[in-house]
Structure 1
Amino acid sequence: YGGIFTPTEAAGVGVMAMLAIAITQGALNWTQLKDSLLQTADTSAMIFAIILGSEVFDAFLARSQLPMKAAEWVSATGLPPFGVMALLMLFYILLGAVMDELAMILLTLPVFFPIVAALDFGLPPEETAIWFGILVLIVVGIGLTCPPIGLNVFVVSAIARDVPITAIYRGVLPFVAADIMRLALVTAFPVIALLLVRLLD
């Protein structure tokens, strides 16, 4: 949290620091280290296999231009601005169940942002952009834990192999429900996302 590393880099540095402490204090021998590295490689291979499958699906979506067609359909619905935003959030949740977050953002933001920017939410253009960006980050996180797929659920399943995947899905449902409530609040009341921005001018 000191800002020296990004969150991903900080995780790696933390692991290396704990590894060094464990070895110097004699809490970890070479056999345990070898077993730990093999287990890490096994888990990482499973996670990367999941990500590879997601990347193949991302390529299909990019070639089929499904996000663009969805954007055209949303534009043609004639809904009020907040109705359009609700549709976009629903689309992101459905898409997040089968795509990784980076591909989802890269494929959809160039298509959806001009639609949002053209709508009147009673906000200045720069506040609309910030608000939409925050909503996208929230909804992408929801999609990654949302059944029936949810990439993060499979990552947890790969690590906690003694826990049935059905139990993991049941376990994430309260969090998904809470996140959807949070998303609804931030969508209905943009000031929640913009308060700090306004305070800092």
Structure 2
Amino acid sequence: MDVLMHMGLMLALIILFLGLGTWVFVGLFLVAISSLFFIADFSIDRIGFIARSVVWRSASAWELSAIPLFIWMGEIIFRTDISDRLFRGLSPLVQWMPGRLLHTNVLGCTLFAAVSGSTSATTATVGKITTTALAERSYNNALSVGSLAGAGSLGLLIPPSIVMIIYGVLAEVSISKLFAAGIMPGLLVAFLYSSYIIVRCVMSPQLAPASDERISLQQCLSGLKDLLPIVTLIVLVLGGIYSGIATPSEAAAVGVMATFVLIILMGSFSWDIVIEAAMGAVKTSCMVCSILVSAAFLSTAIGYLHIPVQLVTLIESMALSPYGLLLILAAFYILLGFFLDGISIIVMSLPITLPLILQAGFDPIWYGVFLVLMVELAQMTPPVGFNLFILQGLTGQSIGRVVQAAFPFFILMCIAVVIISLFPQVVLVLPNMM
């Protein structure tokens, strides 16, 4: 039972340091140092040597170079009128569907997620346009806010995904295959959301105001023209990765250059936008990478304490079925989502959960998608759900109303988790073709 005692002590340290308001990366470093000193009885010199080695190794991983580039690309798009064009482009294409413009939330987030990699950027960029536009047209507020809360989280699942890059580095699996694995589940979630909107609006037509406007072919073609910038970026970034021409980091660099060219051609370029976007990307990237480095040190400390091996032995003695293990992990991640952000959840839990998953016979690529879906659920759970706070700021509503609006979409994402668990080929069909 030493493993449970050690895990309990480490959990208590995490709660202590984070509860004191310590920055996450500092808190993780302190937990690792305290564990090695008090539990493993390591000397300060040895702990310092381990820390230097781990920090250098994890911080110099070439795959991490894609993170600031993808964030920069999303920051530039956020500050230009590409998001306005996205709404204008989708509007005539969804007029024939029950729910009409409500689908711009789902489709807009799906498309923007394919160039952003960030759930907060996706929610904020699409939401700054659609929340006002839908409210002015008297669309149901709860359905509008809820669909945006759910669809905004697709920024983590649909490639290029920053969280998937982090998982790929920590789990030592192909990031390109992880990106491919996220496509079908991402489309599945988007399909579930749009289907729910259709069913709700068929049952209660007043949720989406009727319109006598007839959409002409010319309006549809004009809409496709407005979608061209986003589609161009998607083709360049993802096409380069899946064709094998470019690595994710190289594709991210191409995406940034293509974004510059697009905003120049559209007349949206200014040095203020470039500098503001660069500063936003630097701040976010430093936060992500510092957490990743500290998590690598914590993972090493957990390894020195032999917690993963002992935990695997303990779980094996419980004779859990693979799906029983998944159920426990799902509940565990949803619980963590009440208190931690997505990146922290992954980097803190992966050293313990990945050995269990591999021992149970699950594919690490499949588990990466499962884990991202769990993190997406965390984005919709109070009190730390980032999407909820973004929407609260955009709409001015209370957090309680935002949570209530997001709950049906939380359930739909849980259904998506069940589907990929019962039918893992939904995740693995594209990676297996690479």
Q: TM-score, normalized by length of structure 1?
A: 0.66
CA distance in 2, matches of 1:120, 1:97: 29
Letter in 2 for 1:89: V
Render the CA deviation track for 1:114-168: whole Å, top value 9, x for unaligned: 11113344x4xxxx1x543332232222232213x2332222223233x223442
Identity rate of aligned residues, in percent? 10
CA distance in 1, matches of 2:125, 2:67: 16
* Greater alpha carbon shift after TM alignment, 6-15 vs 53-62: 6-15
* Match of residue 152 from structure 2: 140
Secondary structure of 2:60's match? helix
CA distance in 2, matches of 1:27, 1:169: 41
CA distance in 2, matches of 1:7, 1:135: 32
* Match of residue 72 from structure 2: 56
Letter in 1 for 2:149: L
CA distance in 2, matches of 1:97, 1:112: 18
Q: Any conservation in 2 of the 1:101–1:144 contact (CA below 8 Å)?
A: yes
Q: What is the aligned counterpart of 1:26 among 40, 56, 60?
A: 40
Does residue 42 of structure 1 match 2:53?
no
Secondary structure of 2:40's match? coil
Residues 15 and 138 (structure 1), Cα distance of their counterparts in 2 relative to 1, 3 Å cut: farther
CA distance in 2, matches of 1:120, 1:63: 27
Secondary structure of 1:91's match? helix
CA distance in 1, matches of 2:119, 2:402: 26
Larger Rg: 2
CA distance in 2, matches of 1:137, 1:93: 12
1:59-78 aligned at under 5 Å gives the runs: 59-62=75-78, 64-75=80-91
Q: What is the aligned counterpart of 2:171 among 125, 138, 160?
A: 160
Render the CA deviation track for 1:90-122: whole Å, top value 9, x for unaligned: 12111112113333333332221111113344x
Does residue 183 of structure 1 match 2:193?
yes
Letter in 1 for 2:72: V
* Greater alpha carbon shift after TM alignment, 132-141 vs 165-174: 165-174
Structure 1 residue ranges (4+ consecutive) displaced by more than 6 angstroms after TM superposition: 193-196
Number of paired residues? 185
CA distance in 2, matches of 1:5, 1:182: 37
Residues 196 and 175 (structure 1), Cα distance of their counterparts in 2 relative to 1, 3 Å cut: same
Q: TM-score, normalized by length of structure 2?
A: 0.35
CA distance in 2, matches of 1:173, 1:103: 19
Higher RCO (CA < 8 A, seq sep 6+): 2
Render the CA deviation track for 1:61-103: whole Å, top value 9, x for unaligned: 2565111122233445582671211233112111112113333
CA distance in 2, matches of 1:103, 1:52: 13
CA distance in 1, matches of 2:165, 2:99: 33
CA distance in 2, matches of 1:55, 1:39: 23
